[in-house]
């Protein structure tokens, strides 16, 4: 029979386990715990004891929320059920962002459309205040019929956007060729819904039909396996690989690359890296580096 641990040894082991467990922000217990409603008054609601959040848009105002925590690297998951029916003119944004004129940002935006037409998924990456890195896709399902998972993997190696586990975009860290990469500024999670009928649907040709208001997007199953940032320090400590953060070094494997190629070949409708009219002096360096 093995000897029992002394009290001091047991306490030390418990402290080590607690330290490892605290290096990553745990899965959220509820929207009440992890998010603040920031605008829109009663148009934004937390329901079902914190398991469900809804944002609504009417002719007077949209609404929005943000995370209470800031994060510097992580795997962020959220399930969204987008505005059903005629959503033309509306935009639902779900993104990470820091603050200031040289902010970093990682964007999912969902551009509404007429009933029966597919939503446009708009993605963008800002680093040190510079964006203009848009890729757009037609979703291959009705995102208003049920909840679907939209995920952002962000680590020192790159950023991967995924939909229901399928990678749709990868933005690699290419600082070695002079491309700024978001790695130093902690970001909050934000989401909002607003009217953008001057541009959102067919370049502004289709306007918002206010007889269909309110327009509502729903959120569920938020999860953040991430390093939170507070008082100038990361919860992951000095070693970003500590605490079992397997996502910290994760990259797309061969299967993930093939699945992303399928999305690009069948569902991509815009890629800034192929828009020669925007770059008459030559494409940005990241486009040249990733060109096949």
Catalytic sites, residue numbers: 105, 109
Cβ of 1: how many Cβ atoms within 10 Å?
A: 3
Q: Is 159 exposed, middle or buried (0-12, 13-18, 19+ CB in 10 A)?
A: buried
Cβ of 280: how many Cβ atoms within 10 Å?
A: 6
In the chain, what is the straight-line distance between the N-terminal and C-terminal CA atoms, in Å?
A: 63
Mention every residue, 6+ apart, whose C-beta is less than 8 A from residue 209. 86, 88, 89
Report how far residue 168's alpha carbon sits from residue 213's, in angstroms, rounded to the nearest whole number: 31
Phi/psi at 237 (5° precision): 75, -165
Residue bearing tokens 């998010």: 35
- Given CA atoms 82, 83, 89, 94 in this order, what sign does their dihedral have? negative
Distances in whole angstroms, Cα of residue 10 to Cα of each of 5, 16, 17, 163: 6, 10, 11, 43
Three-class SS state of 149: strand
Question: Closest Cα partner for 226 from 250, 248, 251?
Answer: 248
Report how far residue 58's alpha carbon sits from residue 38's, in angstroms, rounded to the nearest whole number: 17
């Amino acid at each position: 029979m093995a000897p029992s641990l002394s009290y001091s040894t047991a306490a030390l082991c418990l402290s080590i386990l607690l330290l490892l467990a605290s290096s990553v922000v745990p899965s959220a217990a509820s929207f009440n715990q992890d998010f603040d409603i920031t605008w829109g008054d009663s148009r934004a609601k937390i329901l079902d004891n914190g398991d469900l959040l809804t944002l609504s848009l009417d002719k007077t105002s949209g609404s929005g929320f943000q995370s209470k925590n800031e994060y510097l690297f992580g795997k962020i998951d959220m399930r969204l059920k987008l505005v059903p029916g005629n959503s033309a003119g509306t935009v639902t944004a779900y993104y990470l962002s820091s603050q200031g004129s040289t902010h970093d940002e990682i964007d999912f935006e969902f551009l509404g459309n007429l009933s029966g037409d597919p939503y446009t998924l708009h993605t963008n990456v800002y680093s040190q205040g510079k964006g203009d890195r848009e890729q757009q896709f037609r979703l291959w399902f009705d995102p208003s019929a049920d909840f679907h998972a939209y995920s952002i993997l962000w680590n020192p190696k790159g950023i991967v956007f995924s939909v229901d586990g399928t990678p749709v975009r990868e933005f690699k860290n290419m600082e070695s060729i002079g491309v700024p990469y978001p790695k130093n500024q902690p970001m909050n999670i934000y989401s909002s819904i607003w009217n953008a009928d001057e541009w959102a649907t067919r370049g502004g040709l289709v306007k918002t039909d206010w007889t269909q208001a309110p327009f509502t997007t729903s959120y569920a199953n938020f999860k953040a396996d991430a390093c939170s940032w507070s008082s100038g320090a990361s919860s992951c400590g000095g070693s970003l690989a500590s605490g079992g953060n397997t996502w910290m070094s994760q990259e797309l494997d061969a299967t993930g690359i093939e699945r992303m190629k399928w999305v690009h070949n069948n569902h991509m409708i815009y890629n800034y890296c192929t828009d020669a009219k925007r770059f008459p002096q030559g494409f940005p360096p990241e486009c040249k580096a990733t060109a096949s």
